[in-house]
Structure 1
Amino acid sequence: MSEPQDTSGTPGTTGRGSASDAAGSQHRDQELERDQARRGLPPREPHRDQGRRAGRARPGAVSESVAYSLPGRGTGALTPTLIAKLGAEAFGAFVLVLSGLGVALYAGFTGLGGGPLAVALGFGLGYLAAAIAVGHVSGAHFNPAVTLGAAIAQRISWRDLVPYWIAQLVGSAFAAAILFVAIATFPALEGAERTFFATVANGFGEHSPIAAVSGAAGEGFGLWGALLIECVVAAVFVGVALGSTDRRSNRALAPFSIGFALAVMLLVSIPVTNGSVNPARSTAAAIFSEGWAFGQLWVFWVAPLVGAAIAAVVYRAFAPEPSEEGLQPQDDDDDDEVVVVEETVTSTETTDDGPGRAGRPEPRD
């Protein structure tokens, strides 16, 4: 009896399809890789149907699913650094104060500015423009009261509170300085620049704007009236800001709602205190005004901050949302997308695995 011969690699034996199957599989892999490259998908790992034996193709069509994990839409977006946020806050505060005080200076001196309505719109539209420009970087606070409300509402970290305030003060003061230098070049105001600039400072009592038109000089709104009005309008303004930037609201409209809310709240408070709502704005005006403005400045820090705190506490109590960085938070759709690609392999080979295999009829008696 002759010894059995190893015929696994010879034509006409069971393994005759191994070489052609391997070549076909390699060709399919190359085609799939080229298709993946055209789609911009990452290269896939070689994948084969687990039910197929090595070197043999299952008869008929076999579908193989390969899953690719792609970065979500939020992945890869750079988070602004604190320096970038502070720069955005300084810029926004600068635009806000330059717009509002710039209109107010001439509205109070010559009437060319159009009165309180023009002043309110100057601040509101200034906020709107700056918020659209840099709101995606810092959250578009531009106001220490808004920043305090955002911190209490867990929109920003408490460690960012003071840096934000400093940036807002620097931007506001720089805008007021430009306006002061400009009016100093007007010969008619020589020696009276600070008196002129005091017309846009915030005050109460004899420095309340209504005192000049009430018929009784020195009898404007008193301390408690100033505290009440500034506290309430700041609370409403911060409440609108928090609600407009909630993830459940249409945040594309947030700059508009906040800007218009600022304008309306200033129309309410201008006759009483010359309209603060913003401690940084009040501080910037006081720097270049007469001494009384600094003496009354504390009111325009205490009242807006208390109002902001009340608004934030009420907001958290009745309309809470998960904490998120920034007053105008980014979309949090960061989940990875999964793309499933199906590869269909068609084989005409039969196997010797016996009855019951797919594609090979089972013999009958």
Structure 2
Amino acid sequence: MRILVTIRKIELMKKYIAEAIGTFVLVFFGVGAAVLAGGGMGIDVPISVTGIALAFGISVVAMAYSIGPISGAHLNPAVSFGVLVAGRMSVTDFIGYAIFQTIGAIVAAIVIYVIATNSVGGYDVAANGLGQNGWGPGYGAEFFMISAFLFEVIATAVFLVVILGVTSDKGSPIMAGLVIGLTLTMIHLVGITLTGTSVNPARSIGPALLVGGTAMSQLWLFIVAPLIGGAIGGLLHKVRIVAAD
């Protein structure tokens, strides 16, 4: 019995560590594209919105096909919450996933900060930010809070509908990673000028902790809205409105 319990604990930790690593990769390359190649470093040809969106999407594709067989490659507490609401995950696993996803995101943000601030030209976090999410005056296209909230809820709900659909028994597991990555790219193409695109509480927490100020005061939206969106997507799947019969 003890052996079985030990094996179970090892399996759980393997999944949790995979989620931490996967979320690190998502934030490091996605947020890293915005910070290290998005213009704040003074490069002549900064990466475009399309490039940043692709960095996030490709990161998900890479992790889906590498750690997906281990943990499902959620990389996002809102995704895990949607999976929980859909009845495809336990509460214990959700808590473990969310904790380790957030740890991975925070570590990635710290590494990005260290890299950005250790260059000849330096990097002014106060002036250029660290890829944090936000809204209002001085941020992106300066949308109001209601616009930010609606986008994050709707985008996350759509993201969950896609994820739960392609990973279901009647989905397309071979194509799942690619479809999910392209969906996240699509979401970023629209959302970067609105909120910087969160749809992922862990992704938002990491940079906000280092930037502080407004980023921290607005962080609640990028936790609450994605979780609501994830719950909506999970519920739509659970009641089989968007699930194949």
TM-score calculated relative to the size of structure 2: 0.90
Structure 2: how far apart are the matches of 1:108 and 1:267? 17
TM-score calculated relative to the size of structure 1: 0.61
Checking the alignment, whether the CA contact within 8 Å between 1:107 and 1:115 is kept in structure 2 is yes
Deviations 1:312-343 (A, max 9, x none): 11111125589xxxxxxxxxxxxxxxxxxxxx
* TM alignment of 1:330-349, pairs within 5 A: none
Q: Does residue 264 of the first structure (1) align with residue 195 of the second (2)?
A: no
Q: How many pairs are equivalent? A: 234
Give the ranges of 4+ consecutive aligned residues of structure 1 lying more than 3 Å apart after TM superposition: 110-113, 319-322
Per the alignment, residue 176 of structure 1 pairs with 109
Structure 1: how far apart are the matches of 2:192 and 2:227? 18
Deviations 1:194-243 (A, max 9, x none): 443x2511101114311xxxxxxxxx100101000111111111111100
The share of aligned pairs that are identical, in percent, is 36
Checking the alignment, whether the CA contact within 8 Å between 2:130 and 2:207 is kept in structure 1 is no
Structure 1 stretches of 5 or more lacking a match?
1-77, 211-219, 323-365
Q: Does residue 232 of the first structure (1) align with residue 154 of the second (2)?
A: yes
SS in 2 for 1:271: coil
Deviations 1:82-126 (A, max 9, x none): 100001100100110111011111214246442110000000001
* Structure with the bigger percentage of strand: 1
Q: Does residue 97 of the first structure (1) align with residue 27 of the second (2)?
A: yes
> RMSD of the TM alignment (CA)?
1.9
1:287 is displaced (CA, Å) by 1.6
Structure 2: how far apart are the matches of 1:252 and 1:136? 12
Q: Does residue 87 of the first structure (1) align with residue 40 of the second (2)?
A: no
Structure 2: how far apart are the matches of 1:300 and 1:175? 18
1:156 is displaced (CA, Å) by 1.1
Structure 2: how far apart are the matches of 1:206 and 1:91? 34
Q: 1:148 to 1:207 in 2, by over 3 A?
A: farther
1:155 is displaced (CA, Å) by 1.3
Structure 2 stretches of 5 or more lacking a match?
1-6
**What letter corresponds to residue 145 of structure 1 in structure 2?**
A
Structure 1: how far apart are the matches of 2:125 and 2:230? 33
Structure 2: how far apart are the matches of 1:257 and 1:200? 25
Deviations 1:159-199 (A, max 9, x none): 21111111001111111111101112124336x33443x25
Q: Does residue 206 of the first structure (1) align with residue 137 of the second (2)?
A: yes
The structure number with the bigger radius of gyration is 1
